[in-house]
Amino acid sequence: MKAVLLISIFLALVVLSTSSEQEAKASNLESCRRKVRANCQPNGKICVRIARSNLCELRSYSCKQRLANCKSNSNTLTNAFYQRVNIKLCSGMSINQSLPCVSGTNNAK
């Protein structure tokens, strides 16, 4: 009898912890979507440096792509691998082309 009671309590705790995690994820997702809608520029372009190399890449992000990124926002490896830098470092580049960054003094954006 005690075993059944303990198992029931354990299962109830598992269900409650899972639902609170899902609520937190949903809240973070909504927060990300609000930020994107407030700050998104259609067909915006950004320049990113790849890791700690001197390679830069010009990227084009639509609002739809940024909203889709909110779903997978927990991937911190990607955020650490690409560092957003000043758009001038990608001058003369085509979209999604990786080339050495153009010389500049202050690279961080």
11-68: pLDDT as tens digits: 766 665 665 555 556 688 888 888 888 887 777 888 989 888 899 999 887 787 777 7
Report yes or no on 106 lying in a domain: no
Domain with 26 in it = 2-100
Q: Has residue 80 got a pLDDT over 90?
A: no
Residues in the chain: 109
What is the distance between the alpha carbons of residues 21 and 3, in angstroms, rounded to a whole number?
27
Report yes or no on 96 lying in a domain: yes
Overall number of domains in the chain: 1
Report yes or no on 11 lying in a domain: yes
Report yes or no on 71 lying in a domain: yes
Report yes or no on 61 lying in a domain: yes
pLDDT band at 82 (very low <50, low <70, confident <90, very high): confident
Q: Has residue 77 got a pLDDT over 50?
A: no
Report yes or no on 29 lying in a domain: yes
What is the distance between the alpha carbons of residues 57 and 99, in angstroms, rounded to a whole number?
7
